[in-house]
Structure 1
Amino acid sequence: MVQYLIPIAVFVVIFALRARRMSQMRPLKLERLWVVPAIYLAIVVANFVAKPPTPTAWIASAVALLVGAALGWQRGRMMQIHVDPDTHALNQKGSPWAILFLMAIVLVKMVVQGEGRALGFDVMLVTDAALAFALGMFATTRIEMYLRAKRLLDAARATR
């Protein structure tokens, strides 16, 4: 029981801190949106090079990447983006739904990995798929945010 309670407690504390930070308005720099997906891509590539996935894991990872991309697009749509009408400065604020959405994804991953061992799942396959899922989600979240912020910024500049 303790093996489940400690990670859950850590998870709750981290997400409580993250939720507080995400609920505040923060500057949005379009030119920096590529950084997190690039770092995560490097992590995924390093993981796949260090221990190449099996053919089944490649298929699962490709499916997970596509599912992550679809859910990432929805997550990106939940982010609030504001343009200052005078300065045209962009700001973002995380949606409470986006935070809950991310929490649900992490909890599902924890359950699958924890229960998966007991049920005989290939833990490396689950890990590879989770990495691909997260890559798809992080990348498309930022792509959607970039496209929407660019449209909002162009519209604000056109009205001036």
Structure 2
Amino acid sequence: MIGGGDPQGAWTYVAPMIAIIVIVLRGVRTRKLRIERMWIMPALILLVVGITLGLQPPRRFAVLVAEVFALGVGLGMGWWRGRTTNIMIDAATHELTSRSSPIGMALIASLFLIRFALKDYATLHARELHVAAGDIAEVFLLMAAGLICAQRLEMWIRARRLLAQARAAP
């Protein structure tokens, strides 16, 4: 059995695989893009991150550096993933649609697997790494928040530009 015979250990590996399958299946189909609603998910994520970080005691310098690094990685990956997302506009109705590119889906699946492996390793070796499990969770939370916020911002900017161009065209 996966996870050394521990029934809970199997779910540790099955849950990420299910998540990746859902991400890929959602990414292959074209979806309606509503730019007026693109701020909702980033706002909710920033609220959760703010509450989570606000409830924690002050961090050590090394943890702050790791959090800033993770946020930067998340922002960079999110911007890149947003750039690889295909955004189309119907010239007649000005309806926007989007579809993830295969590269973007591969990026998110790879990042998810790497994050999962690093979190698993860091959690199991937290004592040797001299970090708390909560610090590890915060680092990955900031990376995910950066990824989602940057992706949405990049897509919003491009979608607005496409919509303005379509409305300006005769």
User: What does 1:41-52 align with in structure 2 at a 5 Å threshold?
Assistant: 41-52=46-57
Sequence identity percentage: 28
* Partner residue in 2 for 1:125: 135
- Offset of residue 58 of structure 1: 2.1
**TM-score with structure 2 length normalisation?**
0.85
The equivalent position to 1:20 in structure 2, one of 17, 25, 29, is 25
Mark the CA change 1:118 to 1:14 in structure 2 (over 3 Å): closer, same or farther. closer
SS state of the match for residue 91, structure 1? Answer: strand
Cα separation, 2, equivalents of 1:44 and 1:37: 10
Structure 1 residues 55-105: Cα deviation after superposition (integer angstroms, max 9, x where no partner): 332222122111211111001011110000101111111222222211212
Give the aligned length.
160
**Larger radius of gyration, structure 1 or 2?**
2
* Partner residue in 1 for 2:157: 147
Cα separation, 1, equivalents of 2:57 and 2:80: 30
> Are 1:34 and 2:44 an aligned pair?
no
* Partner residue in 1 for 2:167: 157
**Match of 1:130, as an amino acid?**
F
> Are 1:86 and 2:92 an aligned pair?
yes
**TM-score with structure 1 length normalisation?**
0.90
Structure 1 residues 106-137: Cα deviation after superposition (integer angstroms, max 9, x where no partner): 21122112112343232322211111111111
* Unpaired runs of at least 5, structure 2: none
**Match of 2:78, as an amino acid?**
G
**Match of 1:114, as an amino acid?**
D
* Partner residue in 1 for 2:66: 60
Cα separation, 1, equivalents of 2:88 and 2:27: 14
- Offset of residue 12 of structure 1: 1.5
* Partner residue in 1 for 2:117: 111
* Partner residue in 1 for 2:144: 134
SS state of the match for residue 82, structure 1? Answer: strand
